[in-house]
Structure 1
Amino acid sequence: MKFDLHTHHSRCGHATGDIEDYIKAAMEVGLQIIGISDHSPYFYHEKDHPFAQITMARSDFPNYVAEVLALKDKYKDKIEVLLGVESDYFPQHIASYQAAYKQIPFDYIIGSVHQVNGVSIFNRKRWNNLTKQQMIEEKKTYYTLIAESAQSGMFDILGHIDAMKGYFPDFSNIPANDAIDQTLRIIADQQIAIEINTSGKTKTVGGWYPSHDMLERAHHFGVQVTFGSDAHVPTRIADDFDEVREVLKAIGYKQWVFFRQRKRIAVPL
C-alpha cells in the first residue's frame, strides 16, 4: 500500500496548486491513500491572517475542512482522501488549538515545532554569532519542545523532527544526543509516529527528515514511523516513497502506519 500523509496547497501561501491537484497527482503515481494536511492558522493570534505566507487564515479554516470532506466523498471510489492538518506546537497556546480542533473529524493531526525561542527553525541567521554552548542549548530546547508536543495528547504524528538542520547542515553535528534519545523515548512511550519527511531534499541540507542515524535510534527505542513528502507542489507527491521503504527495511522496521479517524493502522513494509 502506498500513501502520503503530508501535503500542502495554495491556501497556506507558500505552496502551489489546489487540493484537488494533489489528489489527482496521488492517483497518477499509484497511491491508495492521500492525506491533506495544510498548515494550521495561528488560532491564538488577534488577527485573522497575521502571516499570509505561512498559514491559512483562521476564517478560512472551515472552508478547508469542508473542501477536503467534499473531495473525500467525490473520490471515494478512486482513492482514499484523509483529512489532516499540520499543526504548530506553541506550549503557551495549547488551549486555542485544542478548542479549534475539538469538533473537526480529523483522520490525523501532525504536530510540528516551527519556532524555538520565538525564531523560525528555518531562519538562516539564527545561528550567527552563537557560541558552541549556545548552539547546544538551542538544539536541546528544540528537542524539549518536540518531547512536550508528544506528551500534549494533541497529535498522532510528529513532523520533520530534525528540520532545524534545513538551512544549517551542521545542526546534525551539534552534540545533543542525550536530548534526542530522551525525546525518542518519550515519543515511543506516547505511541506517536514520526514521519519520514522527504522535503529536506528541497533545502540546503538535502536528504530526509530525520537523518538515517536518527531513524536507526528511533527504531532502537520502538518509535513508529509513517511517510510524508511534505509536498508544496503536486509533482512531489510520494517523492522517494520506495527509497524510504527500502531504507526502513534495512534498518529493521517491519511496518509503518497511517491514520484513519484518529486510529493508527499498521501497514507491512
Structure 2
Amino acid sequence: MKFDLHTHHDRCGHAQGKISDYIEAAIEAGMHVIGISDHSPYFAHELDQPQPGIAMARSDFPNYVAEVLRLKEQYKDRIEVLLGVESDFYVDQIELYRASYEPYPFDYIIGSVHQTRGVSIFNRNRWKGKNEDEQLDEKKHYYDLIRQSAGSGLFQVLGHIDAMKGYYPDFANISGAEAEIDEALKAVAANDISIEINTSGKTKDVGGWYPSHAILERARHFGVDVTFGSDAHVPERIGDDWELVQKRLREFGFRRWVFFRGKQKVVVPL
C-alpha cells in the first residue's frame, strides 16, 4: 500500500497547484492513500494572515477543511484522501492550537518545529557569528522542542525532525546533542506516534532526506514508528523516492511503517 501524508497546495502561498491537482498526481503515481496537510494558520496572531507567503489565513481554515472533505468524497472510488494539517508547534500556544483543531475530523496532524527563539529554522543567517557552544545550545534547544511536541498529545506525526540542516548542512555535524535527540525519539515511541521520512530535503542545500540515517538508526533502536511524506509543494513530487525509502528502511531493519486514519495508526508491512 503506497501512501504520502505530507502535501501542500497554493493556499499556503508558497506551493503550486490546487488540492485536486495533488490528488490526481497521487493517482497517476499509483498511490493508494494521499494525505492533504497544508500549513496551519498562525492562530495566535492578531492579523488574519500575517504571512501570506507562508501560511493560509485563519478565516480560510474552515474552507480548507471543507474542500478536503468534499474531495475525499469525490475521489473515494479512486483513492483514499485523508484530512491532515501541518501544524506549527509553539510551547506557549499549544492549547490555542488544540482548541482550533478540535472541531474538525482530522485523520492526522503533523507537528513541525519551524521556528526556535523566534527565528525560522531555515534562516541561514541564524548561524552567523555563533561559536561552537552557541551552536550546540541551539541544536539542543531544537530537539527539546521536538521532545515537547511529541508529548503534547496533539500530533500523530512529527515533521522533518532534522530540517534545520536544510539550508545549513553543517547542522548535522554539530556534535553533543545526542542525548537530546534520543530523548525526543523516546518521547515519540512512548506516545505511540511517528516521525516522517521526508524526502523534500533533496530540494534544499542539504540534498538529502529528513531525518539522517544516523537518526533513523536511533529511531529503530527505540522502537519509533515511521511514516512517509514527500512534503510536495508541486504535484510532480507526490510519492518522490517512495520505493527507495521503502528499500532503505528495510535495510535499517524496520519491518513496518504507518499512516493514520481517524487519528488511529494503520500499520503497513514493509
What TM-score range do you get, normalising by the shorter chain?
Answer: over 0.9
For the residues of structure 1 that align with 2:26 and 2:187, how far apart are their CA atoms?
Answer: 33
Equivalent positions of 1:176-187 (< 5 A) are 176-187=177-188
Q: 1:257 and 2:261 equivalent?
A: no
Structure 1 stretch 186-195 or stretch 84-93: which is displaced more? 186-195
2:192 is matched by which residue type in structure 1? Q
TM-score, length basis structure 1 = 0.99
Q: How far apart are residue 237 of structure 1 and its match? A: 0.2
Partner of 1:30: 30
2:161 is matched by which residue type in structure 1? I
For the residues of structure 2 that align with 1:179 and 1:19, how far apart are their CA atoms?
Answer: 37
1:140 is matched by which residue type in structure 2? K
Aligned residue for 2:35, secondary structure, equals: strand
Partner of 2:85: 85
Q: How far apart are residue 86 of structure 1 and its match? A: 0.1
2:39 is matched by which residue type in structure 1? H
| Deviation per residue, 1:202-225 (Å, 9 max, x gap) | 000011000111101100011000
1:139 is matched by which residue type in structure 2? K
Partner of 2:234: 233
Partner of 2:223: 222
Identity rate, percent: 65
For the residues of structure 1 that align with 2:255 and 2:246, how far apart are their CA atoms?
Answer: 10
2:149 is matched by which residue type in structure 1? S
Partner of 1:173: 173
1:59 is matched by which residue type in structure 2? S
Q: State the superposition RMSD in angstroms.
A: 0.5
For the residues of structure 2 that align with 1:74 and 1:178, how far apart are their CA atoms?
Answer: 47
Q: How far apart are residue 242 of structure 1 and its match? A: 0.2
Partner of 2:41: 41
| Deviation per residue, 1:111-156 (Å, 9 max, x gap) | 0000011100000100000010000000000000000000000000
Equivalent positions of 1:114-263 (< 5 A) are 114-175=114-175, 176-263=177-264
Q: How far apart are residue 227 of structure 1 and its match? A: 0.1
Q: 1:10 and 2:10 equivalent?
A: yes
1:48 is matched by which residue type in structure 2? D
For the residues of structure 2 that align with 1:261 and 1:178, how far apart are their CA atoms?
Answer: 33
For the residues of structure 2 that align with 1:177 and 1:96, how far apart are their CA atoms?
Answer: 31
Q: How far apart are residue 98 of structure 1 and its match? A: 1.0
Aligned residue for 1:109, secondary structure, equals: strand
For the residues of structure 1 that align with 2:152 and 2:250, how far apart are their CA atoms?
Answer: 30
Partner of 2:51: 51
| Deviation per residue, 1:13-65 (Å, 9 max, x gap) | 00000000000000001000000000000011111000101000000000000
For the residues of structure 1 that align with 2:190 and 2:170, how far apart are their CA atoms?
Answer: 29
2:17 is matched by which residue type in structure 1? G
The list of structure 1 runs, each at least 4 consecutive aligned residues, that deviate by more than 2 angstroms after superposition, is: none
Partner of 2:75: 75
Aligned residue for 2:126, secondary structure, equals: coil
For the residues of structure 2 that align with 1:87 and 1:178, how far apart are their CA atoms?
Answer: 25
For the residues of structure 2 that align with 1:155 and 1:10, how far apart are their CA atoms?
Answer: 24
Alignment gaps of 5+ in structure 2:
none
